[in-house]
Structure 1
Amino acid sequence: MGNIDRRAFLATAGASVSLTVAGCTGTDDGAGERTTLNVGQALSPVHFDPIEQFSNPDAIVGNRIYSSVYTYTEGYDVEPELATAAPEIERDNTRYTIELRDDAQFHNGDPVTAEDVEYSITAPVEEGTPLASLFSPIETTELIDENTIQVDLENPFAMFEEVLTHHVVPKDVREADPEAFGTSDPIGSGPFQFVDWEEGNFVELERWDDYWGDELPALERVRFEPIDESTTRITEIETGAKDVIETVPPQLWSTVDEMDDTTIYDSPSVGYFYVAFNCNEGPTADARVREAIDYTFSMDQAVERYIEPAGERQHSPIPTDLAEEWDMPVDEWAEIPHEPDLDRAQELFDEADVPDDWTATILVPPDDNREEIGLTIANGLQEAGYDANVERLEWGSLLDRAYTGNADDYNIYVLGWIRYADPDDFMYNLFHEEAEEVNQGVYYRDPDVQEQIAQARETVDVDQRRELYIDAITTLLEERVHLPSYNYYNVYAAKNYVQEFETHPIGPVNPRLLTSYNNVTLD
């Protein structure tokens, strides 16, 4: 984030953001000490290969297995993990030289080498995975020696050091059997190693006693179980069957809050949930139709009804706390959405010659709250005289359809984005044409906006980046390419016997079971 004070941002974002670490009802040793942690996830992971993009359920497990060149501190700064120090940056911010620790090993005993780092940051582009846009600025890599790598970029890339928090994988192991690596035999260099996985039922990890870090985890085992039904998750934490659960739904917030032996951990997260339009084909390719849809319902009321107190209204693609830290005009952007006005909506539909028999297709993931947002839009369209189908799809089916640009597949989709604390991560992946079909399906190709996003990525001047982003975001909001919706707080509920329970604003890095500042134990 250049000259932005990340520690100041952390103070405004909440010094801790919820973490999926947890206590335990599990294994005791002879002295009665509890050393197994049971975590109730909201959704099941589907793979453990970080070269492919992790969804949040994947990351909750995978981030315990793998290490990174750099990792996050308590805030948004990064510190060495596999690296010995900060990178040496030369050649006008386009050359990074990184030295690795010589004692780090993977779970199979192989050393972590510069070649493994090189593979981990180049494979996403070579294989065309959803992470390719993060690593596409890399021009060349050079292995100086077994523990030193030089990375040259085509242009300055302001958030490249944060990108180096990406996990490092053992090249030889993954190349030998990529499918097994992502499912039955993931091998990393983190403090926990993979034991077993039954998709939809559980994942089990155990402490890696040969961990090369400064401290071993206090926990001996961690068991993650997906519980997609919210009321069941709440029952599990209430009865003590789970020590921690991921997410507390708004409608059950007071139930958990009133439990004497359980604490809710919540604070703003680096996330963004939104309604996106197909700007490539069909009626929603016309900005008048997108504006008409904005007139058919109240996003404020939908967020108040379905999201609060587990989250808050958001008015731009940049998380509110991050946007405010960057001194962006958040209050002005909040004035752009319209109040409901069905007469004005119908005028715009008529101007755009939308046929009376049009039926909008709205895609939503397997998430009750985003489904409610989709249903709210459908109800508004029906009040304006148009039919709408809300299709709730499993993740694989949803992503196969939502990014095609084909009006037969979708007109609208409701999704979210959570990853790095830099505007580029949201703007490039959600709006730039290079991310089409991979991370977004809006196909909005206004040349000025495309150029502004690209320029902002390639400069390290914070003031220049700010102005470029403000211009691009204002256009995107006025054109209703997205209707920003809300941002969840990072919310977990944990039993009070969980000690050193820490949370982090960047949701995918949670749960942090062992860091430079915490080591979770069970009292």
Structure 2
Amino acid sequence: NAVFHNGEPMTSKDVVFTFTRLLDAKNKLPMRVFFSPIEGVEATGPHQVRFHLSKPFGPLLAVMSSATEIVNENALKEKDPKLFPIGTGPYKFVEWVKDDHITLERWDKYHRAGRPYLDRVIFYAPADDTVRLTGLQTGRFNWIQTVPPQRIPDLEKARDIKSSPGRPYFPFFFMLNASKPPLNDKRVRQAIAWALDRSEIVKLVYFGSHVVTAEPTPEPSVWGTGANAHKSGPDLAKAKQLLSDAGVGGGLTLTYLVKSQVPVLVKTGEILREQLKKVGITLEVQPLESGQYFESLVGKKFDVAGAWWSVTVDPDMFYNPLQHSTSAWNFTGFKSEEADKRLDAFRYTASAAARKKMYPEIVRWFQEEGSLIIFSNEIQRYWTKPNVNGVVPLSSLELRFEDVWIA
């Protein structure tokens, strides 16, 4: 009983159209990387479809739940979906005022009876954490996503603000360019991993807003393993020995690529610079505008890059696009037959129990290879006025307001 915001009922035809469009390489849709085992989709009834897979696909349901949306063919033909999105969700798109706000209104044909509760939701995107917090305190905003990390202890005690539960759903990590010297040498990558002090970075940069971890999906995720190949680190002596063995013990200069619009990652680079200095590595922090950052990332014109990843419902959605040799999103340039073998086995195993059993070794193996070094996971947590209820963070990072209500 789902209905698109243009009034058309959602049927199996829309599912077939969505995936036919997504899987067509000519459309160059970036999310296609997540759906490579799907060969096609056919309608077997008005509200039933059959997916044809080239192989068993363990993360199929996780990928479908978070990496695409069902779209309507007529809606796409009539208007640019980037400017006029049409879906079946609880709120329909009303307007977008560039660099200011997006307005959504209640969809009265939403498939859940009695939902949503709110009549309208307006999204603003002030870049500064303090501006957002001030807006919440003054009543301009009812809900905000991020606050200044150093203010968290005080805000947890505030009477005029409340927070949702916090969940570590957002991994932060370093990408090491393994496609060229000196980081194509595993020993140099491992030296950086042994010199890294995750706890210091989280303490000095992120305060209480991150958890220290070496994996993309730490507990309480069902995929949490606790694996950490460098648990006894930092070990500066071991790092220096690895650099010496690699022939760069006399000193090394690397560049750290980071988006200037993400000041916490700039600060992270500055702390990392001081940590690596202890083992003879000079790290030059290079903040770049977003476009330049991605251009350098794709062109592999960097040594180390600060980054984050937003899709962690299933860890395949982290490791496969970022580390498989055939992925266009493998920005580190790391290529290994062994890596592909492990990733393929994890992806193409249908049994959840079997995948769970093989996963800890995958985490540890990639930690020992070191082209991705995870150092923390941001706690997804929302801050609201006391009368806002029903706000819950999701591992897909979706913002669901269908169950949100104001007392």
Q: Same fold (TM over 0.5)?
A: yes
Kindly indicate whether the alpha-carbon contact (under 8 Å) linking 2:198 and 2:376 is maintained by their aligned counterparts in 1: no
Question: Is the partner of 1:364 in helix, strand or coil?
Answer: strand
1:478 aligns with 2:376: no
Counterpart of 1:433 in structure 2: which amino acid?
S
SS in 1 for 2:165: strand
Give the aligned partner of residue 169 of structure 1: 71
CA contact (8 A) 1:238 1:259 kept: no
Give, in angstroms, the shift of residue 399 of structure 1: 2.7
Deviation at 1:116?
A: 1.5
Query: Per-residue CA shift, 1:322-379, capped at 9, x if unaligned?
Result: 3xx4573x1x5264463152x5544433432349785422122322222222222223
Counterpart mapping for 1:23-422 below 5 A: 103-126=1-24, 127-165=27-65, 166-177=68-79, 180-183=80-83, 185-322=84-221, 325-326=222-223, 328=225, 330=226, 332-333=227-228, 335-336=230-231, 338-341=233-236, 344-354=238-248, 359-365=253-259, 366-404=261-299, 406=300, 409-422=301-314
* Cα drift, residue 384 of structure 1: 4.2
Shift of 1:143: 2.2
| C-alpha spacing 1:167/1:327, structure 2 compared with 1 (3 Å) | closer
Q: Which one-letter code corresponds to 1:430 in the other structure? A: L
Shift of residue 466 of structure 1? 3.1
CA RMSD of aligned residues (A): 2.4
TM-score, structure 1 normalization: 0.71
Q: CA deviation at 1:457?
A: 0.9
| Code of the aligned partner of 2:152 | W
- The question of whether the paired residues in 1 share the 8 Å contact of 2:93 and 2:105 is answered with yes
Among 352, 355, 359, the alignment partner of 1:469 is 359
* CA distance in structure 2 between the aligned counterparts of 1:198 and 1:355, rounded to whole angstroms: 54
Could you tell me the TM-score, scaled by structure 2's length?
A: 0.90
> Does the C-alpha gap of structure 1 residues 355 and 182 become closer, same or farther in structure 2, counting only changes over 3 Å?
farther
SS at match of 1:131: helix
Match of 1:67 in 2: none
Counterpart of 1:509 in structure 2 is: 398
Q: Is the 8 A contact 1:205 1:223 kept in 2?
A: yes
**CA–CA separation in structure 2 for the residues paired with 1:125 and 1:378:** 42
Secondary structure, in 3 states, of the residue corresponding to 2:384? strand
Does residue 498 of structure 1 match 2:388?
yes
**Residues 111-120 or 378-387, more deviating:** 378-387
Q: 2:199 is paired with a residue of what secondary structure? A: helix
Matched letter for residue 277 of structure 1: L
* Equivalent-residue separation in structure 1 for 2:59 and 2:257 (angstroms): 31
How far is 1:402 from its partner?
1.6
**C-alpha displacement of 1:239:** 1.3
Secondary structure of the residue aligned to 2:116 is coil
Deviations 1:273-296 (A, max 9, x none): 111211111311111211222344
Match of 1:40 in 2: none
Mapped partners of 2:349, 2:211: distance in 1: 31
- CA positional deviation for 1:135: 1.4
C-alpha distance after superposition, 1:5-34 (max 9, x if no partner)? xxxxxxxxxxxxxxxxxxxxxxxxxxxxxx
Q: Which moved more, 1:356-365 or 1:228-237?
A: 356-365
- The worse-fitting range, judged by mean Cα deviation, of 351-360 and 488-497 is 351-360
Query: Could you tell me whether the CA contact under 8 Å between 2:218 and 2:224 is conserved in 1?
Result: no
Shift of 1:236: 1.2
Residue 390 of structure 1 and its aligned partner are, at CA, apart by 2.0
Letter in structure 1 aligned against 2:385: K
- Partner amino acid for 2:70? V
Assess, with a 3 A threshold, how the Cα gap between structure 1 residues 188 and 266 changes in structure 2: closer, same or farther. Answer: same
Q: Which amino acid in 2 is paired with 1:124?
A: L
Residue identity opposite 2:219 in structure 1: T
Structure 1 residue matching 2:57: 3-state secondary structure: coil
Query: Which of 352, 374, 377 is the matching residue for 1:487?
Result: 377
**Aligned residue pairs, count:** 402
